[in-house]
């Protein structure tokens, strides 16, 4: 029994977690991560990003990403692979290279071909393009080397390149603040239509799910949003779920209710294939001064754990 076992019993593919080399080096944390009853899937926190994998042009470093894949395979866990093209964590040789449009397109295609080729057959899904939208749903150009140099056409180009390198992995667009109906969610739906209009494949929408305790809202609102993506013919997943609560004054009961709400929404929509949390212990989280996860800093289960089990239903 566990978080993943209950998700599977509810008809989902997985419940999973983000993991990192630092978590793998923390034995008490890694023991939890290796429990395949709780986690049927991993996402690498930073180890498969552009700056990690191609730190200088044409030089690929797969050692850390491969360690994460090896642990997943040893435990029968699948990988969501993250993330090919993003405005953040771009190495300086790309962002400061002064490349023109044609050269940057070639750099992007070369990176995708190498990375997706290296992990061919090992990734259930790839986050092909990450966070390409502004909050109003328009395409992010300012602050993105890809958007500002190539324009939004880099998006379908990236999907086409990924499909060519591994025809059987699911290709996702992934973003935050698309978790509820609104202008950014509508923008993501338009992005999916745009990729299809260019003739490139897109199979999934990744809803990051970085929430704040007390602001998740109702399951019906989340369901309405999931369904709007499903209606475009793509699958959906919560890809980076965490629910922030201040470490100075945490509200773990409300946090547990909010985790249950997100699980209940995914459970109700058949196109929602699974949920990934952005870590699992409050000892290892990207959010400062917050306790957003399911195990506490001493590796004890918090209220959220049983709330998630109950929201999936019996095994
Ligand atoms: O590796 C360097 C290290 O050499 C250096 O000494 C240290 C000093 O600050 O920085 C290290 O790099 C950090 C890296 O994490 C690895 O630990 C970066 O500064 C830090 O910015 C980076 O943060 C990551 C962040 O993405 C980058 O934007 C977080 O760990 C990671 O959890 C976070 O994950 C993102 C998802 O990929 C996309 N969605 C949002 C999510 C949360 O921000």
- Please indicate whether residue 254, judged by its CB atom, sits closer than 6 Å to ligand 1: no
Instruction: State pLDDT tens for residues 34-75.
Output: 999 999 999 999 999 999 999 999 999 999 999 999 999 999
Q: Is 135 a catalytic residue?
A: no
* pLDDT classification of 314: cutoffs 50, 70, 90: confident
What's the alpha-carbon Rg for the chain, to the nearest Å?
19
Query: Looking at the whole model, is its pTM more than 0.95?
Result: yes
206 forms beta bridges with 174, 237
For range 118-138, the mean pLDDT: 98
Structural domains present in the chain: 3-312 (3.20.20.80)
8 A C-beta contact, residue 47 and residue 64: yes
CA of 297 to the centre of ligand 1 (A): 20
- Please indicate whether residue 208, judged by its CB atom, sits closer than 6 Å to ligand 1: yes
Convert 257-272 into a string of H (helix), E (strand) and C (coil).
Answer: HHHHHHHHHHHHCCCE
Catalytic residue among 45, 131, 135, 235: 131
Q: Is 18 a catalytic residue?
A: no
* pLDDT classification of 123: cutoffs 50, 70, 90: very high
What interface predicted TM-score (ipTM) does this complex get?
Answer: 0.95
Gap between the Cα atoms of 241 and 278, Å rounded: 5
Cα 154 from chain centroid (whole Å): 20
- Atom 43 of ligand 1, nearest CA residue: 286
8 A C-beta contact, residue 207 and residue 239: yes
Instruction: State pLDDT tens for residues 196-255.
Output: 999 999 999 999 999 999 999 999 999 999 999 999 999 999 999 999 999 999 999 999
């Amino acid at each position: 029994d566990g978080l993943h076992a209950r998700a599977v019993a509810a008809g989902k593919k997985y419940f999973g977690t983000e993991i990192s080399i630092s978590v793998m080096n923390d034995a008490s944390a890694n023991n939890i991560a290796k429990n395949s009853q709780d986690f049927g899937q991993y996402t690498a926190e930073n180890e498969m990003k552009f700056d990690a994998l191609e730190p200088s042009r044409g030089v690929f470093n797969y050692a850390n990403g491969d360690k994460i894949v090896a642990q997943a395979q040893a435990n029968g866990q699948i990988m969501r692979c993250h993330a090919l093209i993003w405005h953040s964590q771009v190495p300086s040789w790309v962002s400061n290279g002064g490349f023109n449009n044609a050269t940057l397109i070639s750099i992007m295609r070369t990176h995708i071909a190498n990375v997706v080729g290296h992990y061919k057959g090992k990734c259930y899904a790839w986050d092909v393009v990450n966070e390409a939208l502004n909050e109003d749903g328009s395409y992010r150009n300012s602050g993105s080397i890809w958007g500002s140099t190539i324009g939004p056409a880099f998006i379908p180009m990236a999907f086409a390149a990924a499909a060519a390198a591994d025809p059987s992995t699911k290709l996702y667009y992934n973003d935050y603040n698309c978790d509820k109906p609104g202008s950014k969610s509508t923008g993501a739906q338009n992005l999916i239509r745009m990729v299809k209009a260019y003739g490139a494949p897109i199979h999934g929408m990744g809803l990051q799910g970085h929430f704040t305790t007390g602001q998740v809202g109702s399951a019906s609102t989340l369901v309405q949003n999931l369904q709007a993506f499903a209606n475009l013919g793509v699958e959906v997943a919560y890809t980076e779920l965490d629910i922030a609560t201040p470490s100075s004054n945490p509200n773990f009961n409300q946090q547990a209710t909010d985790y249950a709400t997100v699980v209940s929404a995914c459970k109700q929509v058949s196109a929602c294939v699974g949920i990934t949390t952005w870590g699992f212990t409050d000892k290892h989280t990207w959010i400062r001064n917050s306790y957003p996860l399911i195990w506490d800093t001493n590796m004890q289960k918090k209220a959220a754990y049983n709330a998630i089990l109950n929201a999936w239903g019996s095994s």
